[in-house]
Structure 1
C-alpha cells in the first residue's frame, strides 16, 4: 500500500491538468490547425512542407507560424505515442516484454527523479525479474545499477553485493552482445553496397562468423545465439554455399522452437525466406514453395519484406520451370496497390521479369502489348548498369530478336555481350554467365544455323550443366530463365523458324 500511496500522491500533486494529444474526433477549425496539418499528412494531402504551408497559411514553409504549428503537432504526436495500442503491434510474449520492460524502467527513473524512491525501487525489482526472464540484458544492467545504488544508500550490504554481481554479469553479456552486433553490422554494411562476390568480403565475413560463434559459446544469451545464426547466414550467402546455409537455417529454427517465449514473427519469416532462397538455387521447387507459403504467413502483404519474398518466389518458379505459376506470382505483385511505391530499381526488375514472361507467353499477360524498344526505354538504370540485371537485359533482347529474325541487330547484341564478358566477367567468379555468352557467340559465328550451333556449343553446355548451384557471382543471381532452358528454347525456335512462321513482335 505504501507504493500506491506514494504514486497516488505524485500523480495528484504533479499531474498536468490537460494532456495535449491528437484528437481526431475534434472538428477542424482555426483553433486546431494542428489537426488539419495532421490529417493532411496522414491522408496524403500534404507531401511536402511547402504543400502544407501554402494551404494553411498561403506562405512558404519558412513562415514562423508554420514552424510553430509543426512544433506543436510534434509535441502532441510524442504525447500520443505513449497511448498507442502496443498489443496490436507486439503480439508475442517477447515483444510485449521488450515494450513493458522499457516502459517500466523509464517509469522507475521518472519516479526516482520526483522523489518517489519506494515506488521506483519496487518497479525496478519487478522489471529486473521480467528482463532476466527474457534475456533483456541492457534493461537488466540498468535496473541492477539502480538497485545497487539504492542498497548502498540504505547500507544493505547483502542486497548491494547481490545487485553488484548482477551488474558485473550483465555488463559482460551486454559487451558481448554489442561486439556481436558490431560483427554482424560489419558484414551488413559491406555487403549492402554490393552483392558481387569478392574474396576479401568472404574472408572478413568468415572471421566475423567465427568470432560470433566463440561469443555465443562463452556467454549463454538468446540474443547472442540469434546474432551467431544471422551472421552465419550472411556469411554463407556471401560465399554462396546454399547447402550449408540451409543446414544453418534448420539449426536456427530448431533453436527457436526450443524457446517459444522468444517467438517473433519477422524472425521466423526471415528464416523461411532464406530457406526458400536456398531451394531456389538448389532447384527444389516443392520445398521452395512450401517455405514461400510459410514465409507469407509472417509478412504483411504489400510490405517491403513481402515484395522481397515474392521476388524470390517468382525466381523460384522460373528456375524450376513452373512458368504458369510464375505468371500468377507476377500478376499478384504488379497489381498490388503498393507496387507503385517500390524504388525505381525494383520496378525495373519486374519490367525485366515481364519481358521474359512475355517471351514465354506472348500476348497472354494482363499487361499491355509488349514492345521491345519500349521495354529498353523503360529500364534506364539496368540498361546502363554493368552489373546485376545487365546481362539479363541483353539476353532478353537476343530471345526477342531471334523471334523477329533480325540477324544484324542480333550480331550487335551478341557482340555487346562479348565485350561485357571480357570487361566485367573475366576476373569475376561468374562461370555460368561467361559460359552462356560463349554459347550465344556461336549463333553469330555459324550464321544461326541450329545444327552447327548445337554441335559447336555442346562442350560449353556440358560445362554449364556441371556447375554447382550457388557457385557463381552476383551477376548469376539475375539468371531469370535457367541458361540451360534458355538455350534449349533458342535452338528449338531456330529449328522451328524454317517450318513455322515467326511470331510477330512489335518493336
Structure 2
C-alpha cells in the first residue's frame, strides 16, 4: 500500500486536478472506494483495506488484482495528468519531455516531417529555460529525421549544432556529477565527510573552469551548491553569505535564469549563514523580508521558521521567538511535517519554557513529560543529543533534585569521554563541564562564576565548528550559563 500512498501523494502535489474526480472515481467502483479510502485516511494498511472491501485479508487474490490495477492506472496518470504551472520550469520541462516522446513515436513511424515539427516546438522552450539535455535530444531526433530525408545542406548545418550541443552537455554532466559525488559523500559517515574536505577545493576549481567555459545554468548550480557544501563543512559561513548575496544580485541582473533558480533555497541558506556568523540583527531583517516567499502549508515553511526562531532566540528577542513559535504550533499543517521535525519543535518549545515559562504559547505543553521521555544518544537526533542532555540537566537543576543531578553528572562524564573527543566538540565539552560545576559547588552561583571562569572564557573564545560536525546550540551556551547562574541562589 505504501507505493500507492506515495503515488497519490505525488499526483496531488503536482496537479491541482482532484484525483477523486478522475477516472478512478467514476461510479462506486471498488477502485474508487479503494483510492478514496487511502486519500481520506480510512485505509492505513493492506489489512484494513482488504477487510473493509472484501471482508478478507490482504492475501486474497481479488485484493491483489485490485492493487495491481490501481497502481498501473496511477503510473499511467503520471504521464497524462495536468501539472500545476505554478512551478513554471518544472511544468515546461515536463511539457518538453512529453513532446519529445511524441516526436520519437512519429520518427519510428517514419513521419519525419511531423517529427521535425514537434522538435521545432521543443527547441525554443529548451533554449529559454536552459534544458540543455532536452535540447540535445531534440537535435538528435531532428538529425535522424534529416538523415532519412536526404537534405545534405540542412543535415550538415544541424549536425554541427548537434555536435556543439553534445560537447556542452558533456561538460554540464561532468559538473552535475561532481556535485552529486560531493553530496553523496556528505550523507555518509563523519569519517567520510572529513576525507571529503581534502578533495573539495580541487572539485570546486574544476567546477569554476567548467562554468567559465560553458556558463550554463546547471553548471553554475553545481558550483553554487558544491561551494555552499564545502564552506558549511569548514564552518566559513561568511563565504556562504557572499555566495547567496551574489546569487540574488545575478538573478536580478538576469545573469542566472530566474525561472529555474530556487530563490527560496537561497533565502533559507542566507538566513542560516547569518545565524552561524552571529549576525542576528541583519539575519532577522532578511528573515522578515523573505518570509512571504514561503507557503505556510509547506514543509519548507517549517524549515525556514526553524532558522527564523533560532535567530530570535540567539538575539535574545524572546518575545519575537514566542510569536514565531505560536505561528508554527497553531499552523494546521503542523501535523504533516516529519517526526524528526516535530521533535525538534518540541525541543525548541522546551527551551523556550526555560527562557519564558509564563509565555501563553506554552499553555498545554507538558515540559516535565517531554524532558523525562525524550531519548538521548540516538542517531536520528544527530546534532541535538547535547541539547537534550543540557535540557534534562536544567530540568533537575530547576527542581533542586540533587540525586537526579548526581546521576546526570555521571552520564555527562561518559558522554564527554565517548562522543566529545574531537576538537569540533570543544564548545559542548566546555559547557557540560560548567554544568557539572553547579552540583560540585553546591549550587553556589558566586563559586561557580569563580571556578568556571577559565572554562567560560575559553567558551567565548572558541568559535562554532563547521556544520558537518556541530551540535546545535538552540540557546547559545554563553546565554544559558548566565541564565543558570541567575536562577541559582546568590
| Structure 2 gaps, min length 5 | 1-20
Cα deviation, residue 369, structure 1: 5.4
Residue in 2 aligned with 1:402? 397
Q: Following the alignment from structure 1 to structure 2, what is the Cα–Cα distance between the partners of residues 248 and 473? A: 17
| Structure 1 gaps, min length 5 | 1-20, 497-507
Residue in 1 aligned with 2:281? 286
Residue in 2 aligned with 1:311? 306
**Are 2:233 and 2:468, in contact at CA under 8 Å, matched by a contact in 1?**
no
Residue in 1 aligned with 2:364? 368
Deviates more, 1:440-449 or 1:35-44: 440-449
The counterpart of 1:471, out of the listed 465, 471, 484, is 465
Q: 1:200-221: CA deviations, max 9, x gaps?
A: 1322333332322222122221
2:53 aligned with 1:56: yes
The counterpart of 1:331, out of the listed 326, 347, 362, is 326
1:429 counterpart SS class: helix
Over 3 Å counting, the alpha-carbon distance change for 1:41 and 1:172 in structure 2 is same
2:43 counterpart SS class: coil
2:412 aligned with 1:411: no
**Are 2:412 and 2:432, in contact at CA under 8 Å, matched by a contact in 1?**
yes
2:393 aligned with 1:393: no
Cα deviation, residue 43, structure 1: 1.9
Q: Following the alignment from structure 1 to structure 2, what is the Cα–Cα distance between the partners of residues 476 and 492? A: 27
**Are 2:385 and 2:471, in contact at CA under 8 Å, matched by a contact in 1?**
no
**Are 2:185 and 2:193, in contact at CA under 8 Å, matched by a contact in 1?**
no
1:337 counterpart SS class: coil
**Are 2:129 and 2:259, in contact at CA under 8 Å, matched by a contact in 1?**
no
2:56 aligned with 1:69: no
Cα deviation, residue 139, structure 1: 1.1
Q: Following the alignment from structure 1 to structure 2, what is the Cα–Cα distance between the partners of residues 112 and 81? A: 23
Cα deviation, residue 479, structure 1: 0.8
Q: Following the alignment from structure 2 to structure 1, what is the Cα–Cα distance between the partners of residues 165 and 294? A: 33
1:430 counterpart SS class: helix
Deviates more, 1:217-226 or 1:112-121: 112-121
Map 1:43-442 onto structure 2 (within 5 A): 43-90=40-87, 92=88, 94-193=89-188, 198-259=193-254, 262-264=257-259, 267-364=262-359, 365-368=361-364, 370-372=366-368, 374-380=369-375, 387-442=382-437
The counterpart of 1:492, out of the listed 449, 461, 486, is 486
Residue in 2 aligned with 1:15? none
Deviates more, 1:80-89 or 1:151-160: 80-89
Q: Following the alignment from structure 2 to structure 1, what is the Cα–Cα distance between the partners of residues 192 and 412? A: 20
Residue in 2 aligned with 1:27? 27
Cα deviation, residue 399, structure 1: 2.2
Over 3 Å counting, the alpha-carbon distance change for 1:108 and 1:381 in structure 2 is farther
Q: 1:102-156: CA deviations, max 9, x gaps?
A: 2221221222234432211111123223312322111111111112122222222
Over 3 Å counting, the alpha-carbon distance change for 1:144 and 1:287 in structure 2 is same
Q: Following the alignment from structure 2 to structure 1, what is the Cα–Cα distance between the partners of residues 290 and 191? A: 26
Deviates more, 1:149-158 or 1:238-247: 149-158
Cα deviation, residue 231, structure 1: 1.1
Q: 1:390-421: CA deviations, max 9, x gaps?
A: 22122112323232222333233233223322
> After TM superposition, which residue ranges in structure 1, 4 or more long, deviate above 6 angstroms?
383-386
Over 3 Å counting, the alpha-carbon distance change for 1:169 and 1:293 in structure 2 is farther
2:424 counterpart SS class: coil
Q: 1:272-314: CA deviations, max 9, x gaps?
A: 0001001111222333223334444333323222222112222
Q: Following the alignment from structure 1 to structure 2, what is the Cα–Cα distance between the partners of residues 359 and 239? A: 32
Cα deviation, residue 193, structure 1: 4.1
Q: 1:401-457: CA deviations, max 9, x gaps?
A: 232222333233233223322222122412221222232233234332222221222
Q: Following the alignment from structure 2 to structure 1, what is the Cα–Cα distance between the partners of residues 460 and 269? A: 24
Give the superposed CA RMSD. 2.8
Q: Following the alignment from structure 2 to structure 1, what is the Cα–Cα distance between the partners of residues 154 and 330? A: 62
Cα deviation, residue 386, structure 1: 8.5
Residue in 2 aligned with 1:8? none
Cα deviation, residue 83, structure 1: 4.9
1:59 counterpart SS class: coil
Structure number with larger C-alpha Rg = 1
The counterpart of 1:443, out of the listed 435, 438, 446, is 438
Over 3 Å counting, the alpha-carbon distance change for 1:472 and 1:144 in structure 2 is closer
Cα deviation, residue 367, structure 1: 4.1
Deviates more, 1:132-141 or 1:394-403: 394-403
Q: How many residues align?
A: 469
